[in-house]
């Protein structure tokens, strides 16, 4: 079966990548995700070592995500202009990773030394955080934009979703296992008063976390650069439209082009809405259980059907997870003495999480399709603009989710510190946990399930788009008029 597929790809005029190139390129997702995990714990660092209150650090994180959204248009325009000796995407990728490493190094190793001057400490923390966000945007824009030069073969784009699903599941599982079973026990201690202090409030734990994250992220970035090395060249930028983006008069390169893209590119709007739903699920809430099955769905039916099936399945099992907390006894949860609650909860949770992750991992290939659609629609190759529009919405929603979490925690009494594994159980804490874990994800996947019905870039439509773009591969794209059909 695979031999016939490989032969079919070799005989195709479509741009296709080697399997190892796709596998290595997808490590760029890992390079960014692992810094996301570091930032997830920034509230512990800020409240414990900088003296910043829980609500204030929640607001700072919100503002930083809004800042990310504000700089996205500028970075998108700049990315579309880049055409250097080392390609378009590789220099941006490496620059972003080095900026993230440098900014977080200063944040975790030097800013806490300024705690004696609260306002100076706060100002430097915000400044360094803002610089980190610039590097993060550089790195993440490549994840979506560079797929267009890597491959236009439908099955290969679906396989990018598989790689990101596997990498993401493994990365999340390993990271949280190390945090819970290695770093937290290693750095938890008893203070002079006899009180147990969580490792999250031990500065050495944050330092060790940073060292490993910076190293792994840098190595993942190098692997991604190797994966892009052969394809990050002008002849692969836009499949026949490489020159258009770089030869337009400078006056046409303005922020108002974003409005033209949003007005005419409905699939992009739908993809952003689905990404909003995914962000609600993931930011307020990694398992590879369903990844192979979902890969088969994506290969056969495309990203649209994958999201439809997975979002519906995730909602069903999230609802089941919630119901069993009320009809069964959650205090019987134990792996030492397996109960009915434990079996149903673990199975339904794994399935819901896996289906939700699989639906989320189907989004990156959709953005590559949307970029191709924009080329088909207007004749312009705009990977930077489209990727940063997409990122802008994601960061805006992420900023709101951080505020929601902070406000709900404040409502149940966590105004100066965050809950830790040692925090005593209360009914209020359980209620908030259920809302975070099941309520918001259910709402998010409901939005995704409704929105995907209006996304019309299915397999048949994408074949038309690819054939059309291929036809104009050697044409003068400046004479191509904007297409009005969708």
Which pLDDT score, from 0 to 100, does residue 239 have?
Answer: 47
Question: Looking up tokens 């009320």, which residue turns up?
Answer: 326
Question: Looking up tokens 């920034």, which residue turns up?
Answer: 42
At 181-196, the pLDDT tens digits run: 889 889 988 888 888 8
Which pLDDT score, from 0 to 100, does residue 359 have?
Answer: 74
Please spell the DSSP secondary structure of 315-381, one letter per residue.
Answer: HHHHHHHHHHHHHS-GGG--SSS--HHHHHHHHHHHHHHHHHHHHHHTHHHHHHHHHHHHHHHHS--
Which pLDDT score, from 0 to 100, does residue 289 have?
Answer: 34
Is residue 294 within 8 A of residue 358, CB to CB? The reply is yes
Is residue 386 within 8 A of residue 394, CB to CB? The reply is no
Which pLDDT score, from 0 to 100, does residue 207 have?
Answer: 93
- In the numeric block, which tokens belong to residue 460? 């048949």
Give the separation between CA 442 and CA 448, rounded to whole angstroms.
10
Q: What does each C-alpha distance from 145 to 25, 92, 160, 228, 323 come to in angstroms?
A: 12, 11, 13, 12, 41
- Average pLDDT of the chain is 77
Which pLDDT score, from 0 to 100, does residue 21 have?
Answer: 86
Is residue 174 within 8 A of residue 300, CB to CB? The reply is no
- In the numeric block, which tokens belong to residue 288? 């590879």
- In the numeric block, which tokens belong to residue 325? 């907390």
Crossing angle (nearest 10°) for helices 266-284 and 383-411: 30
Which pLDDT score, from 0 to 100, does residue 14 have?
Answer: 61
| Domain extents in the chain | 17-241+252-476
Lowest-confidence range among 110-114, 282-286, 318-322, 361-365?
282-286
At 127-160, the pLDDT tens digits run: 999 999 999 988 888 887 888 788 777 777 777 7
Q: Whose CA is closest to 210, among 137, 68, 102, 48?
A: 102
Which pLDDT score, from 0 to 100, does residue 302 have?
Answer: 63
Domain covering 17-241+252-476: architecture: Up-down Bundle (1.20)
Which pLDDT score, from 0 to 100, does residue 72 have?
Answer: 77
Is residue 311 within 8 A of residue 319, CB to CB? The reply is no
At 9-47, the pLDDT tens digits run: 444 456 777 888 888 988 998 999 899 888 888 888 888
Give the separation between CA 192 and CA 184, rounded to whole angstroms.
19
Backbone angles phi, psi at 196, to 5 degrees: -80, 125
Q: Which residues pair with 196 in a beta bridge?
A: 190
Q: Which residues pair with 310 in a beta bridge?
A: none
Give the separation between CA 429 and CA 436, rounded to whole angstroms.
11
Better-scored residue on pLDDT, 469 or 293: 469
pLDDT band for 281, please (50, 70, 90 cuts).
low
Better-scored residue on pLDDT, 393 or 14: 393
Which pLDDT score, from 0 to 100, does residue 12 have?
Answer: 47
At 92-104, the pLDDT tens digits run: 899 999 999 999 9
Give the separation between CA 454 and CA 308, rounded to whole angstroms.
11
Backbone angles phi, psi at 183, to 5 degrees: -70, -45
- DSSP, collapsed to helix, strand or coil, labels residue 224 as helix
Which pLDDT score, from 0 to 100, does residue 115 have?
Answer: 86
Which pLDDT score, from 0 to 100, does residue 200 have?
Answer: 85
Give the separation between CA 204 and CA 189, rounded to whole angstroms.
12
Is residue 162 within 8 A of residue 169, CB to CB? The reply is no
Better-scored residue on pLDDT, 357 or 63: 63
Which pLDDT score, from 0 to 100, does residue 224 have?
Answer: 92
> Where in 171-317 does DSSP place strands (E)?
189-190, 196-197
240: left (phi over 0), alpha (psi -120 to 50) or beta: left
Confidence (pTM): 0.67
pLDDT band for 290, please (50, 70, 90 cuts).
very low
- In the numeric block, which tokens belong to residue 57? 């650090």
- In the numeric block, which tokens belong to residue 88? 């378009």
Which pLDDT score, from 0 to 100, does residue 10 have?
Answer: 44
Which pLDDT score, from 0 to 100, does residue 36 have?
Answer: 86
- DSSP, collapsed to helix, strand or coil, labels residue 301 as helix
Is residue 135 within 8 A of residue 91, CB to CB? The reply is no
Percentage of the residues of the chain whose pLDDT score is greater than 90:
14
Percentage of the residues of the chain whose pLDDT score is greater than 70:
79
Average pLDDT, integer, range 290-305: 54
Give the separation between CA 300 and CA 458, rounded to whole angstroms.
11
Better-scored residue on pLDDT, 110 or 290: 110
In this structure, the number of other CB atoms found within 10 A of the CB of residue 238 comes to: 26
Give the separation between CA 472 and CA 480, rounded to whole angstroms.
9
192: left (phi over 0), alpha (psi -120 to 50) or beta: alpha
Better-scored residue on pLDDT, 272 or 207: 207
Is residue 411 within 8 A of residue 431, CB to CB? The reply is no
**Residue 237: CA count within 13 A, CB half-sphere:** 23
């Amino acid at each position: 079966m695979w031999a016939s597929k490989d032969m079919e790809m070799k005989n195709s005029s479509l741009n296709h990548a080697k399997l190892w190139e796709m596998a290595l390129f997808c490590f760029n997702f890992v390079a960014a995700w692992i810094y996301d995990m570091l930032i997830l714990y920034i509230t512990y660092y800020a409240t414990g070592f900088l003296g910043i209150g829980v609500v204030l650090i929640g607001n700072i994180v919100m503002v930083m995500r809004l800042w990310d959204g504000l700089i996205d248009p500028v970075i998108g325009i700049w990315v579309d202009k880049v055409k250097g000796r080392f390609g378009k995407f590789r220099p941006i990728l490496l620059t972003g990773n080095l900026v993230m490493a440098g900014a977080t190094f200063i944040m975790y190793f030097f800013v806490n030394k300024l705690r004696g001057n609260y306002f100076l400490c706060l100002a430097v923390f915000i400044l360094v955080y803002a610089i980190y966000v610039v590097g993060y945007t550089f790195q993440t824009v490549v994840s979506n934009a560079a797929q267009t030069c890597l491959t236009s073969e439908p099955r290969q784009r679906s396989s990018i979703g598989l790689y990101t699903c596997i990498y993401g599941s493994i990365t999340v599982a390993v990271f949280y296992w190390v945090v819970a079973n290695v770093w937290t026990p290693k750095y938890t201690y008893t203070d002079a008063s006899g009180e147990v202090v969580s490792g999250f409030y031990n500065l050495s734990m944050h330092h060790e976390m940073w060292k490993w994250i910076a190293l792994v992220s840098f190595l993942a970035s190098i692997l991604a650069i190797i994966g892009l090395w052969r394809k990050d060249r002008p002849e692969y930028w836009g499949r026949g439209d490489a020159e258009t983006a770089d030869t337009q008069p400078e006056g046409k390169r303005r922020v108002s082009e974003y409005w033209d893209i949003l007005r005419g590119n409905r699939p992009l709007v739908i993809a952003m809405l689905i990404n909003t739903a995914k962000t609600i699920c993931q930011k307020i809430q990694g398992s590879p259980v369903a990844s192979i099955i979902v890969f088969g769905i994506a290969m056969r039916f495309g990203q649209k059907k994958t999201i439809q099936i997975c979002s519906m399945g995730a909602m069903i099992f999230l609802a089941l997870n919630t119901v069993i907390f009320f009809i069964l006894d959650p205090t019987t949860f134990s792996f030492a003495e397996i109960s009915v609650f434990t079996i149903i909860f673990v199975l339904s949770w794994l399935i819901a999480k896996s289906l939700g992750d699989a639906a989320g991992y189907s989004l990156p290939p959709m953005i590559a399709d949307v970029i191709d659609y924009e080329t088909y629609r207007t004749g312009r190759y705009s990977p930077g603009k489209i990727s940063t529009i997409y990122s802008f919405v994601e960061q805006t929603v992420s900023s709101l989710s951080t505020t929601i979490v902070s406000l709900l925690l404040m409502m149940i009494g966590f105004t100066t510190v965050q809950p830790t594994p040692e925090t005593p159980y209360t009914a209020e804490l359980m209620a908030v946990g259920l809302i975070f874990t099941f309520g918001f994800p259910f709402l998010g996947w409901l939005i995704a399930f409704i929105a995907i019905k209006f996304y019309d870039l299915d397999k048949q439509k994408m074949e038309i788009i690819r054939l059309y773009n291929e036809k104009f591969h050697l044409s003068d794209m400046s004479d191509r008029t904007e297409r009005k059909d969708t």
